[in-house]
Homo-oligomer: A and B are copies of this chain.
Amino acid sequence: MAAPDAHPPTAAPAPDDSLAPSLTDGLAAIVGARHVLADPADMAPYVSAARYGGGRARLVVAPADAAQLSAVLRLCQARGVPTVPQGANTGLVGASTPDGSGAQVVLSLRRLTGTFDLDLDNRAVTVGAGWDLDSLNQRLEPHGLWFPVDISASPSVGGMIATNAGGSRVLRYGDMRRNVLSLEAVLADGRIVGDRRGLRKNSTGLDLKQLFIGTGGSFGIVATAVLDLQPLPRQMATALVVPADTGAINGLLALLERRAGEYLSAFESMSGPALAAALHHRPQLRNPFGGGPVPAETILVELMSATEPGTGLDLDALLLSILEQGYGDGVIADAIPGPPADLWALRHAISEGLRGLGRVIGLDISVARGRMSAFRAAASDWVHQHHPDLLVCGFGHRGDGGDHFNLVIPRAVDADWPADRVEAVRHGLYRLLVDGFDGSYSAEHGIGPVNLSFHRTFADPVQQSLARLLQDHLDPAGLLGRVRW
């Protein structure tokens, strides 16, 4: 897919000063020759992401630590070379791959894994930004701890910070803003700012770290972070719940929070078409509704507790009791308790299931959570009225007001949907979302070339002007990353 609104492709690189070493040699002197890639075949994995990309890189360079990253950025600054930071390259907004100019150097941060300082007394870990989420949690498990931001992928810590990742358990554990205690970032000029102090309380005016969370590396590149950790759950109880009707979902959520609020860790919505696509795509998954029709909306409810079984608390019993009350109160039509792994497998099969149906138009939106049903209804009506050939297949994090209100272009009509028509649909739905429902056009994926034009249309003008003020100050030459605010 074309990146519709990155900052304009940078001009072709000026030839290096003939008296200075080449850029390649200069970078190799910092990181070692084998960590500078120049061959297009070697660079291929770095210029395309799972869903976006197709750019061209001048070089790919992989520093080993913050000091090398700093030196690389100083060199690029001195030469006027634009750079694009890249973590695990799992992002969904096109921010981690280069544009089509061939001028940008990709800074791969995967080697920034040298630091792993677990502070059990502070229940926190200091890690390099290159750590991926799965490896981090594997390393933490023997200590009875985990990092609870869960986005059913294994992004890098740096990428999670850059996008302010959220995911399925924000309802209980919050997003990255809440779970990063400290960070160190490298500015465009190579300065390393921030700290590794891991303070849980610190009120000294402007909170520097917040500037680097969710801003996609546009103000600086996160090299190191101190993450808050949580006790590993020792009990989980999950069920698929079919609400009595759409209007009952808020009541169901309120009931769960009233009786089990401190344990409620997920309240995930799956629309009928989304769940049907998952079941169709992965026939080995057990259909929880037998051969019968898939309900219009199914909620995956999860309770988690770090309290040991046998100390009085029994989450399975608590969940059953709540579900019984839900029947009695008339908010639940059907409920199917089941093992967490089985139920999450359904939920996690949806993305792939939708891609099995055709081209996906992904909308990562949020509203105040009580308004989700109203938004979904209005947005579905809009789609059905204006674009009846599209399939509406929403699913997502209903407990915190997030939804992947995704549309699918069936293969049969794919040719009717050039990129500009897709963009027009997105624009129309965002307009409805923002004007009609006070919603956000980026709940948890962040801003990148893929959605920057929408950001410019819909974001608070003061927010945008302050972002520009900061960026012009921190990166006056405009060399850092894919987004100019």
A217 to chain B, nearest CB (A): 11
Checking B163, B171, B205, B206 against A203 with a beta-carbon cut-off of 8 angstroms, the contacting residue is B163
Stretch of A52-60, A258-266, A344-352, A355-363 with 4 or more beta carbons under 8 angstroms from chain B? A258-266
Per-residue B-contact encoding for A429-467, CB less than 8 Å = 1, 0 else: 000000000111111111100000001000110110011
Segment touching B, from A28-36, A303-311, A379-387:
A303-311
Q: Determine the chain B residues whose CB is within 8 A of the CB of A196 once the complex forms.
A: 438
Say whether B262 contacts A368, CB under 8 Å: no
Dominant SS at the A interface? loop
In the assembled complex, the Cα of A319 lies from the Cα of B178 at a distance in Å of: 28
Identity of the chain B residue whose Cβ is nearest the Cβ of A474 in the assembled complex: B466
Given contacts A119-B370, A313-B307, contact A262 B401 (CB under 8 A): no
Interface flags for A117-161 (1: CB within 8 Å of B; 0: not) read: 001111110000000000000000000100000000000000000
A485 at the interface (CB under 8 A from B): yes
Q: Are B210 and A215 closer than 8 Å at their CB atoms?
A: no
Chain A, 301-334, CB within 8 A of any chain B CB? 305-308, 311-314, 317-318, 321
B203 touches A442 (CB 8 A): yes
Using CB atoms, name the residue of chain B closest to A434.
B197
Which residue from B163, B205, B216, B311 sits with its C-beta under 8 Å from A318? B311
Is A205 touching B467 in the complex (CB atoms < 8 A)?
Answer: yes
Give chain B nearest CB distance to A189 CB in angstroms.
Answer: 11
The oligomer's copy count stands at 2
Q: Hey, what's the 0/1 contact readout for A213-232 against B, CB within 8 Å counting as 1?
A: 11110100000000000110
Q: Is the CB of A175 within 8 A of B197?
A: no
Give bound CA distance, A443 to B463, whole Å. Answer: 27
A177 to B305, CA, bound (A): 25
Q: CA separation between A438 and B196, bound complex, in Å? A: 9
Q: Which residues of B contact A443 (CB under 8 A)?
A: 199, 201-203
Do the beta carbons of B469 and A208 come within 8 Å of each other? Answer: no
Number of A residues with CB within 8 Å of any CB on chain B: 97
* Minimum distance in angstroms from A471 CB to a CB of chain B: 9
Q: Does A369 count as interface, using CB distance less than 8 angstroms?
A: yes
**Whole-angstrom distance between the alpha carbons of A178 and B175 in the complex?**
10
Complexed CA–CA distance, A400 and B199 (Å): 8
Tell me if A201 and B366 are in contact (CB < 8 A).
yes
Partner pick for A206 among B166, B211, B254, B305, CB 8 A cutoff: B211
Expressed in whole angstroms, the minimum distance between the Cβ of A118 and any Cβ of chain B is 11
Question: Is the C-beta of A414 less than 8 angstroms from some C-beta in chain B?
Answer: no
User: In the complex, are the beta carbons of A368 and B203 less than 8 A apart?
Assistant: no
Instruction: Answer whether residue A61 sits at the interface, using C-beta atoms and an 8 A cutoff.
Output: no
Q: In the complex, A390 Cα to B321 Cα: how many Å?
A: 59
Interface string of A246-287 (1 = CB under 8 A from B): 000010011001111111000000000000000000000000
Give every chain B residue within 8 A of A466 (Cβ-Cβ): 206, 208, 211, 470, 473
Q: How long is the Cα–Cα vector from A215 to B174 in the complex, in angstroms? A: 23
How far is A312 from B308 in the complex, measured between Cα atoms in Å? 12
Flag whether A296 is at the interface (Cβ < 8 A). no
Instruction: Flag A407-446 by CB within 8 Å of B: 1 or 0 each.
Output: 0000000000000000000000000000000111111111
Does A164 reach chain B (CB closer than 8 Å)? Answer: yes
Could you tell me the distance between the alpha carbons of A170 and B202 in the complex, rounded to whole angstroms? 11
Q: Using Cβ atoms and an 8 Å threshold, which residues of chain B touch A446?
A: 203-205
> Known contacts A203-B443, A208-B460, A262-B306: does B214 contact A370 (CB below 8 Å)?
no
Residue in B193, B216, B308, B368 whose beta carbon sits within 8 Å of that of A198 in the complex = B368
- Tell me whether A389 is interfacial, beta carbon within 8 Å: no
Return the chain B residue nearest A401 by Cβ: B200
Instruction: Tell me which residues across on chain B come within 8 A of A485, comparing CB atoms.
Output: 205-206
Q: CB < 8 Å: which of B122, B175, B400, B469 contacts A469?
A: B469
Report yes or no: B206 in contact with A470, Cβ–Cβ below 8 A.
yes
Tell whether A207 is near chain B: CB-to-CB under 8 Å: yes
Flag whether A194 is at the interface (Cβ < 8 A): yes
Chain B residues closer than 8 Å to A204, beta-carbon distance: 214, 440-442, 446-447, 455, 459, 463
CB of A367 within 8 A of CB of B444, answer no
A397 in contact (CB, < 8 A): yes
Question: Which 3 A-B pairs give the minimum distances between C-beta atoms?
Answer: A121-B370, A200-B400, A231-B261
Give 28 CB contacts A-B under 8 Å: A121-B254, A121-B368, A121-B370, A122-B368, A177-B177, A177-B207, A177-B210, A191-B462, A196-B438, A198-B368, A201-B397, A201-B440, A201-B444, A203-B214, A203-B445, A204-B440, A205-B218, A205-B446, A205-B455, A205-B483, A205-B485, A206-B211, A206-B214, A207-B214, A231-B257, A262-B262, A262-B307, A312-B312
